[in-house]
Structure 1
């Protein structure tokens, strides 16, 4: 295992464009860090810089405290799992897994190599497929072979470059679980690139969110979700996405296109004195008023709205509420949509409702919104004006403690 330190890394191509722009990140021994962001944000370039497949224009890369900027990829002792598996079609599963060690400068005795291959295949459920060729395997099995090849090297760190993007949704979920279990079992430092924020939130100890080559926020998944630093992070993390609603403060309340909201003083204060702000509201902050516990009612506001339609999903429902577009924020939301690699951000609120709610499209309904969970964003800078840095740091600290206990338990099981 190893620590990996990125110090002010820059990658510029011949045209001078900085694909990676002054990124600094410390990855602890045994940590699972996710690099996430929309297409073109620089996450794969950054991963390739770590493994040595891209030159570093500026800055320093340290592995276990040693600067490795000019060290050849094969001498960094890192294992990379690629998006396209990179398997040899004419070799069996056994030989594909063994291949890196057969090329190694320090060749292992056949008995030790065999032990490593079979240990990896057992971990990955490949024992019954060792004599098969990759062409006879499913996508998930091929991905497990690629992971086996990384494991057998006993590298200091695993690097994953969107390894699940070629799989269907159900198989992605299964493989995601397997990767998480495997990483915890081995305790190997891992860096994982994805554009899928669900993968990022479920796999990572910490998640690094990138936009146009720049690091926006590095934190535990929960801190990113509950305490996003800006509009971009708030809009990228979460599914369904956070709702953004133009608002202004008047008379100690927030005036919005869907109604007036009473809110805690900290939220009101963030909006006070500004002509316009953007409110960020997660869909789950809403509920059908009929299903709100009486003790909670005082912590939110009641709204009268008419949803355009609803979707029943079994365990919950989504309601969709149109509102009148505000030209004062159209440019800001248009730019945010482009940053998020979306066509646009329509003037639409998505709300989560109880599965038993009888609210339906086209009919006036009573909703409740938990205004303790409102975020206020500056329209000009995108800064989250209601972010609580101390609360955010505490969430990430707690996640680190939980992770340390997991690694300790896994190490005891190995022993």
Structure 2
């Protein structure tokens, strides 16, 4: 196992375009780090630079404290698991897993021992004599991982390994990869554009945009304390709602006037909006609820304002209410640019609110909507910065996640 350190890594192509721009990242020994972002953000390029398949324009790449910028891939002792599995169709499962051991000229007895240890770990014992064409997608993925395991590499690098699988199998393989990584305790770097994979697999997640690192944190810190509009919009499904709003002070207290209504806000949130002509407020769908479904104590933890639902989607365990509004021209260009950064066609002037499945909210009828203003984010439309982010709370969430990771590794290895 090994730590991996990236110091101010830059990758420029011949036309001068920086595919990766000044990325610094410390990956601890045994840590599972996810590189995530929309298409073209530089995550796969960064992974290929770690393994040695791409040259580094500037900066230092360190593996266990050793600079490896000029080292060949075989000298780095890293195992890569590709999207297309890269299996040899004419070889059996046994020989596919054994392939790196044959190259290393190990004895037949050593090869047999290592392959069977890996196959037992991956539940492939019944498939060792089969060819890849006769395996399911999940089984092929496990064979590719077995080949990485027998190498006893210092780290595993995954390049979108589940993108060829259907949704149900992806969920199953996510769990298997996570449990395997914990049992092995091996440093792992995993590239994906799928935020569900990022949030469920990673100890920490590095969010990239156009080659620039936006935030590195535990999944929970990214979700609860995003650094900027891009991270807030990329992490979470359904996406965070962004609403233009202006601050005003009334006899009852502070209010943010938005296209869906005047929302009373606490003093600490108001401080972020004071003196600004316009802000963007960030509200995740689950911050909302039909006010009639809440008791007085819960209602007091947020604010209630009148609204009208345009349509409702009932999902059984919950429902989504949609609220249309007129976009403010002062932020229209900023939100259009954000949509392009997020690989979305557009950010529609529409709020998505998660409502209780028992709510009787109906399209076109007035509804008292409750929102948890204590969790509201306020963003600067110009810079995109999160003006209400609590760095100390965020750091605490990531610290707790690191402690959980260590406990999980110990429990997995005891099993």
Q: Is the 8 A contact 2:280 2:380 kept in 1?
A: yes
TM-superposed deviation, 1:293 = 2.7
Structure-2 residue corresponding to 1:212: 210
Show CA shifts across 1:108-146 (max 9, x none).
221121111111111112111111111111111111111
Q: Contact 2:85 / 2:140 at 8 angstroms: preserved in 1?
A: yes
Equivalent residue, structure 2, for 1:160:
158
1:361 CA displacement: 2.0
Which among 172, 175, 183 is matched to residue 174 of structure 1? 172
In the alignment, what sits opposite 1:90?
90
Please state whether the residue corresponding to 1:158 is helix, strand or coil: strand
Match of 2:318 among 313, 316, 319: 316
Task: Tell me if the contact between 2:179 and 2:412 (Cα under 8 Å) persists in the aligned partners.
Answer: no
Q: Which residue of 1 aligns with 2:221?
A: 223
Distance 1:98 1:290 in 2: 63
Give SS of 1:246's match.
Answer: strand
Gaps of 5+ in 1: none
Shift of 1:359: 1.1
More deviation, 203-212/285-294: 285-294
Q: Secondary structure at 1:295's aligned position in 2?
A: helix
Correspondence for 2:230: 232
Name 2:107's counterpart in structure 1: 109
What is the distance in 2 between the residues matched to 1:170 and 1:372?
36
What does 1:261-410 correspond to in 2, within 5 Å?
261-410=263-412
CA contact (8 A) 2:42 2:211 kept: yes
Alignment of 1:20-39 (within 5 A): 20-39=20-39
* Residues 60-111 of structure 1: per-residue CA shift (max 9 Å, x gap): 000000000111101110000001111111011111111111112xx32211
Paired with 1:376 and 1:98, the residues of 2 have a C-alpha distance of 54
Please list every run of at least 4 consecutive aligned residues from structure 1 whose deviation after the TM superposition is greater than 4 angstroms. Answer: none
Where does residue 75 of structure 1 map in the other structure?
75
Match of 2:12 in 1: 12
Cα offset for 1:363? 2.2
1:131 aligned residue: 129
CA distance in 2, matches of 1:219, 1:274: 29
C-alpha separation in 2, matches of 1:276 and 1:92: 63
Helix, strand or coil: the match of 2:189? strand
SS at match of 2:340: helix
What is the CA–CA distance in structure 2 between the aligned matches of 1:264 and 1:398, rounded to whole Å?
28
Q: Considering only aligned residues, what root-mean-square deviation do their CA atoms show, in Å?
A: 0.9
Task: Give the CA deviation at 1:173.
Answer: 0.5
- Deviations for 1:198-250, whole angstroms, at most 9, x for unmatched residues? 10000000000000000000000000000000000000000110000000100
Partner of 1:180, secondary structure, is helix
Distance between the aligned counterparts of 2:122 and 2:358, measured in 1? 41
Report the secondary structure of 1:299's partner residue: coil
CA distance in structure 2 between the aligned counterparts of 1:411 and 1:84, rounded to whole angstroms? 29
Q: How does 1:52-67 map to 2 (within 5 A)?
A: 52-67=52-67
User: Does residue 1:147 correspond to 2:140, yes or no?
Assistant: no
